[in-house]
Amino acid sequence: MLKTRIIPCLLVMNNGLVKTVKFKNPSYVGDPINAIRIYNDKEVDELILLDISATQENKEPNYKLISDAASECFMPLTYGGGIKTLDQAKKIFEIGVEKLSLNNSAYEKPELISRIASAYGTQSVIASIDIKKNMWGRYDVVLQRATKSVGVAPIEYAKQLESLGAGEIMLTSVDREGTWEGYHLEILQKVSSAVNIPVICNGGAGKLEHIREAVFNGGASGVAIGSMAVYQRKGMGVLINFPARHEIEKLLQE
């Protein structure tokens, strides 16, 4: 069995570290580079850095920020936001980023997944799927920070992304993101069972037990944490933190 990874997922906007709730109302929580330095000291497994404004504002990836992050980051780094071409991907890999997360472009330019996977290996591509419950109670894939539904079922979409060459899936529940209420285990289990590549769950972690549930009940290979990684606890102030190694080992014991 692959080692379960617990991964801080940092959101940036205009060079600042922010946190959202259900993809809305970004609140400034600090400097992303300082946060990375703290995660270095805490020896986290991996780090995901997502620029949530790049695609929506039709901007190039922020190469200066990516370079600063890669220079400071001692652990494998994934970057997502504004990636639309193979040339952009090449530039980001040359900076020192290990993986790219593709969200809107995975849907709008699916061939980009195959091209990046062919050039750099499937392990370099994470296909990001954002899901949200529609008015009929079903879950749809959504784009552009959950403002656009594309009417695609998450399970079939995950299979398609795998067939294109994605090496991992990151599944984010918009309805749970930033709520501290736990991951959406039902959808997570269905997606992880439908594909043969690792699935990272994201959106909703509020306590260590949620992480355990995602792994043992949802089949997650990786668990992304957002609010838990930047706040002391729900309703309290900013504190860049990460579970202690002994807590993680105890948590993931079968």
Tell me which residue of 248, 186, 246, 249 sits closest to 220, measured CA to CA.
Answer: 186
pLDDT, residue 230, reads 96
pLDDT, residue 106, reads 97
Q: Which of 31, 45, 51, 130 is catalytic?
A: 130
pLDDT, residue 1, reads 40
- The encoded tokens of residue 59 equal 């901007």
Tell me which residue of 115, 106, 58, 52 sits closest to 81, measured CA to CA.
Answer: 52
Q: Is 35:239 a contact under the CB 8 Å cutoff?
A: no
31 is catalytic: no
pLDDT, residue 2, reads 53
Total length of the chain: 254
Ordered per-residue pLDDT tens for the chain, 254 residues: 458 999 999 999 999 999 999 999 999 999 999 999 999 999 898 999 999 999 888 899 999 999 999 999 999 999 999 999 999 999 999 999 999 999 999 999 999 999 999 999 999 999 999 999 988 889 999 999 889 999 899 999 999 999 999 999 999 999 999 999 999 999 999 999 999 999 999 999 999 999 999 999 999 999 999 999 999 888 889 999 999 888 988 888 87
Give the β-pairing of 148-149 and 199-202.
unpaired
β-pair partners for 6: 223
Q: Is 99:126 a contact under the CB 8 Å cutoff?
A: yes
pLDDT, residue 113, reads 98
Q: Where are the domains of the chain?
A: 5-251
**5-251 is classed in which CATH architecture?**
Alpha-Beta Barrel (3.20)
pTM for this prediction? 0.95
pLDDT, residue 240, reads 94
Q: Is 53:11 a contact under the CB 8 Å cutoff?
A: no
b/e sequence 95-115, b meaning 16+ C-beta within 10 Å:
bebbbbbbbbbbbeebebbeb
CA distances for 64 relative to 8, 23, 68, 71, 95, angstroms: 21, 25, 6, 11, 10
**pLDDT tens digits for range 123-167:** 999 999 999 998 888 999 999 988 999 989 999 999 999 999 999
Torsion angle of alpha carbons 157, 162, 163, 165, nearest 10°? 130
Residues 79 and 72: their CA atoms lie apart, in Å, by 14
Could you tell me where the DSSP H helices lie in the chain? 32-41, 63-72, 86-95, 104-108, 111-120, 154-164, 185-194, 208-216, 227-230, 245-251
